[in-house]
Structure 1
Amino acid sequence: MSGPAPVVVVGAGPVGSTAALLLARRGLDVLLVDRRPGPYGLPRAVHLDDEALRALADAGVVEEFLARSRPMAGLRLLDARHRVLAEFRRRPDAGRHGWPQASMFHQPDLEDVLRAAVARAPHVEVCRGVEVTGVEVTGVELAGSEQSDRSVTVTLSDPDGSRRDVVAAAVLGCDGANSTVRGLLGARMRDLGRPDRWLVADLRSAAPLPVWPGVHQVCDPARAATFMPVSGDRYRFEARLLPGETPDDVDLPALLAPFGARDAEVVRATEYVHRARVADRWRRGRVLLAGDAAHLTPPFVGQGLGLGLRDVHQLAWKVADVVTGAADDDLLDTHQAERAPHARALVRLAVLVGRLMTGGGAAAAPVRRLVLAAVGRVPAVAAYATDSRTPALRRGPLVDRRGRAGRRLAGTLVPRARVRVDGRECRLDDVLGPGPAVLETAGAVLAVEAGGRRHTVEDVDGTLTAWLRAGRATRVAVRPDRVVRSAR
């Protein structure tokens, strides 16, 4: 790779590959490196919500992803005897962003899609089997002898044992739970909950299993378990391991029998430790963390991969503005300030939901049955349980929560509503474009200012008008990542 210093993205999993595509689509050269000589190949994540799909859409791969995934039907909570405690169904049609609120998928399928897109991207170079062994932030002397961290020297160890230095405009550490970049940054993970050991089994069945198509959560303190159809002929089963127990000790066919999966092919069965952790430091100069390198969450609210995609979606435009000189390096301070509280909130929520569904011992089971039976009959609570919206970003330099409308909308995602512009129907994101934009309403007229142009838009199905009315807003400033900066 020649020309200007590239942004080095460490880790070619879904988060790192998406980051590379987002940066490349903003015109930056990207060097994507990964310690593995080839794709990982085994499934891990199985769920994404429609908010996280905004990142895949801006990376140019959402339609290919949707073709290889399926909508999630909802959630059933079961007792130890597999009787239904509560059921929360999700509508199969598109939500406020134009996609299913939740999609189930086989992670290697997503990685295939991303890998093909990266191979097509003209600004991305991929180096596999390469270890990052050093990251040195380089200061550039400015007036008054001040230092500004304007570049990073990355030391790479190639498969033949040779080493080379790459001068990078920035480095994104998307290299997972055992992140090398995090260690080189001097960051540490802070625990928000106790580790939890689970058996994870990936299954295949040539004939569709006679099971409800949503996620089944067995709320049994003695043996909490989860069963879910994934996509195609694939299924996922998870069960909490007892103290001292190993996966080989578990009678897996007996646990699968209630789901009609006793004879399903077990592709793999392994132990996985669910952790609740967030890094104490996400940035040093132009070296930044994202994804599992910055946070780890239990699976109970399905936000593991989604958190990482949100990280890079909200980071890519900031890095691009800093690297191209459109913004000062101080803009990168907002990465941890915005993403760490959001990650902590969702990790803590996952810990809490896990305790509510599976904790408390035998004495909690009767209480859980009564409470969940009542909850399932309250429409507002049921709607909340299936809502894919995550907490708003906190107030900060890029999130102005002043005023009634600001408190309601700032820090949230603008809906990807269907609109009509100049007689052409499209999604609002197509009108907003890749930069900042303003959406405003005057009576029945909606207008978008973006890219130096003003467009009059028609709200096709009323989604946008209803959102503005609920937020009591007439003017909304939208960031490049579709997050509302301010509203009034």
Structure 2
Amino acid sequence: MVVVGAGPVGLTAALLLARRGLPVQVLERRSAPYGQPRAVHLDDEALRALADAGVAQGFLALSRPMRGLRLLDGSHRVLAEFARASSSGPHGWPQGSMFSQPDLEELLLAAVRREPLVELHTGCELVGLARDGGVTLDVLDRASGARSRVRAAAVLGCDGANSTVRRLVGARMRDLGRPDRWLVADLRSAQPLPLWPGVHQVCDPHRAATAMPVSGDRYRFEFRLLPGETREDVVARLPALLAPYGAADAEVERVAEYVYRAQVADRWRSGRVLLAGDAAHLTPPFIGQGLGLGLRDVHQLAWKLAAVLAGTAAERLLDTHQAEREPHARAMVRLALLLGRLMTGGGRGAAVLRRAVLAGVRRVPAVARFATDSRTPPLRRGPLVVRRGRAGRRLAGSLLPRAAVVLDGRTVPVDDVLGPGTARLRLLLPGRLAVRPAGGGEVEVADADGGLSGWLRGAGAVAVVVRPDRIVLSAS
């Protein structure tokens, strides 16, 4: 098995596959980690992938909870505030976490180096690919210029927005919206900046902006580039743009121009070559789902690949990768586009309307819950998502809460009891559950905080079948 790309998605994929017994080679064209900040937010649903890869606790140590969203006008007056409680969400973690991508990559690289089934090859560029029963890769050593061939049972392309794997299999990106140019500035400050500990979105039709504390002494500021404006134009004005946040004197670690794109690949699979992460989809950052979508891709694909390569599942199981993940990714990209337009689009008239609307909706509890809830839409109905009956319609395709249960006197996440395969969970009594892991006997556990019992009863369910990726296959 070969994974192309050693970013967070590719490294997580390698760890997930290795934990299912597959030897994995990771090919990375860079000779050393990129080392610059990029992704800064991850939600608790996507953190399930890091948990199954064995690095969730390490991630929590290097991240901090994201406390919500503030919408500001052009004069930085608060239009609306949607705050998150500091307590954990349904999966036992903060619903949103802020982090620096180099810290996460260092954590994942350390885990990969400890994993005997994973080999990491850096400075190796994929230049050719042939599908001939398995897959043959032509690989260029960028230091020596030497070429070699690598045979693989399957290939997973996690090689980013300019994916070589995507190009070699003839897949194309399809636009869902117009590109948007922004300047991103990553700062460090020895003294804490006077920022609220959530994301600030400046809804200014003249100069939309985003500001947020990241982790430790790091901060991120983003400013939309105006038509005809260059990166240099805005860099020259950066101290003045940062001044309202008290950040004019902070150390600028990096400044980069980004083109935020809304795209989804037309084809995610060619035989045993598959795409994931930015190779398959690109999203504007307004709902913080760029990395999270990629981690969901590999979390929901790793067990399928392992089953097919082990011969315990038919090849057609891989057809469910795009069938499940593309509609979900497309929905999240469209939501990011919509919210971006609502928060930052239009002219002066739109700004006046936005203020009037927000004055009302911020007092509606349902709106506040929508703005702070980390849940994403369930997967569509298909071979692995069976929506029958009231319970099935409500729960199938959604993510099982990672609630705590008590087994033999120990409090553990329910994931530890479910095991690595498809499992069944049913309600015995309020606060008592029975879990049947794949290939094992049924065990009885106590619902430590009532989360699972309440979740089942709230949907009118008494039992669920749970896939290896913790997605509910069916409910009754």
Q: Which residue of 2 aligns with 1:123?
A: 117
**Paired amino acid for 2:168:** L
Listed as ranges, the matches of 1:130-141 within 5 Å are 130-139=124-133
The CA distance in 2 between the partners of 1:388 and 1:52, in whole Å, is 10
Q: Which residue of 1 aligns with 2:358?
A: 372
Q: Which residue of 2 aligns with 1:198?
A: 182
Choose which of 419, 423, 444 in structure 2 pairs with 1:456. 444
1:114-161 residue CA offsets vs partner (Å, 9 max, x unmatched): 00000000100011010111111113xxxxxxxxxxx11111111312
Listed as ranges, the matches of 1:99-118 within 5 Å are 99-118=93-112
Describe the SS at the equivalent of 1:113.
Answer: helix
1:442 deviates by: 2.9
> What number of residue pairs does the alignment pair up?
471
Could you tell me whether the CA contact under 8 Å between 1:170 and 1:287 is conserved in 2? yes
1:422 deviates by: 1.5
Could you tell me whether the CA contact under 8 Å between 1:438 and 1:477 is conserved in 2? yes
**Paired amino acid for 1:402:** R
Residue 487 in structure 1 maps to residue 475 in structure 2? yes
1:103 deviates by: 0.1
**Paired amino acid for 2:137:** V
1:373 deviates by: 1.7
Q: Which residue of 1 aligns with 2:465?
A: 477
Q: Which residue of 1 aligns with 2:201?
A: 217
Could you tell me whether the CA contact under 8 Å between 2:127 and 2:138 is conserved in 1? yes
Choose which of 157, 162, 170 in structure 1 pairs with 2:140. 157
Could you tell me whether the CA contact under 8 Å between 2:195 and 2:212 is conserved in 1? no
The CA distance in 1 between the partners of 2:449 and 2:356, in whole Å, is 39
Residue 280 in structure 1 maps to residue 274 in structure 2? no
The CA distance in 1 between the partners of 2:441 and 2:148, in whole Å, is 46
The CA distance in 2 between the partners of 1:92 and 1:260, in whole Å, is 25
1:9-58 residue CA offsets vs partner (Å, 9 max, x unmatched): 00000000000000001110000001101101001000000000000000
Residue 43 in structure 1 maps to residue 37 in structure 2? yes
**Paired amino acid for 1:214:** G
Q: Gaps (5+ residues) in structure 2?
A: none
Could you tell me whether the CA contact under 8 Å between 1:69 and 1:104 is conserved in 2? yes
Listed as ranges, the matches of 1:54-65 within 5 Å are 54-65=48-59
The CA distance in 1 between the partners of 2:132 and 2:300, in whole Å, is 25
Choose which of 251, 273, 276 in structure 2 pairs with 1:265. 251
Describe the SS at the equivalent of 2:38.
Answer: coil
**Paired amino acid for 2:86:** P
Q: Which residue of 2 aligns with 1:409?
A: 395
**Paired amino acid for 1:373:** A
1:473 deviates by: 0.7
Choose which of 273, 282, 285 in structure 2 pairs with 1:299. 285
The CA distance in 1 between the partners of 2:271 and 2:256, in whole Å, is 39
Q: Percent identity?
A: 72
Q: Which residue of 2 aligns with 1:447?
A: 434
Name the stretch that deviates more: 222-231 or 462-471. 462-471
Listed as ranges, the matches of 1:324-335 within 5 Å are 324-335=310-321
Residue 85 in structure 1 maps to residue 79 in structure 2? yes
Could you tell me whether the CA contact under 8 Å between 1:18 and 1:309 is conserved in 2? yes
Choose which of 1, 6, 16 in structure 2 pairs with 1:12. 6
The CA distance in 2 between the partners of 1:299 and 1:374, in whole Å, is 26
1:44-100 residue CA offsets vs partner (Å, 9 max, x unmatched): 000000000000000000100110000001100000110100000011121100000
**Paired amino acid for 1:388:** S
1:338 deviates by: 0.2
Structure 1 residue runs of 4 or more that deviate by more than 2 Å after TM superposition: 442-445
The CA distance in 1 between the partners of 2:229 and 2:405, in whole Å, is 55
Describe the SS at the equivalent of 2:306.
Answer: helix
The CA distance in 2 between the partners of 1:227 and 1:21, in whole Å, is 33
Could you tell me whether the CA contact under 8 Å between 1:173 and 1:288 is conserved in 2? yes
Q: Which residue of 2 aligns with 1:424?
A: 410
Describe the SS at the equivalent of 2:442.
Answer: strand
Describe the SS at the equivalent of 1:363.
Answer: helix
The CA distance in 2 between the partners of 1:125 and 1:269, in whole Å, is 33
The CA distance in 2 between the partners of 1:304 and 1:138, in whole Å, is 33
1:410-468 residue CA offsets vs partner (Å, 9 max, x unmatched): 00000000110111111101111111100011333310000412110111111101100
Q: Which residue of 1 aligns with 2:192?
A: 208
Describe the SS at the equivalent of 2:324.
Answer: helix
Name the stretch that deviates more: 171-180 or 417-426. 417-426
1:211 deviates by: 1.5
Listed as ranges, the matches of 1:246-257 within 5 Å are 246-250=230-234, 251-257=237-243
Choose which of 336, 341, 349 in structure 2 pairs with 1:363. 349
Could you tell me whether the CA contact under 8 Å between 1:36 and 1:130 is conserved in 2? yes
1:267-318 residue CA offsets vs partner (Å, 9 max, x unmatched): 1111100000000000011100000000000000000000000000000000
Q: Which residue of 1 aligns with 2:60?
A: 66
**Paired amino acid for 2:435:** V
Describe the SS at the equivalent of 1:122.
Answer: coil
Q: Which residue of 2 aligns with 1:466?
A: 454
Could you tell me whether the CA contact under 8 Å between 1:247 and 1:269 is conserved in 2? no
**Paired amino acid for 1:47:** H
Q: Gaps (5+ residues) in structure 1?
A: 1-6, 140-150
1:196 deviates by: 0.1
The CA distance in 1 between the partners of 2:285 and 2:12, in whole Å, is 21
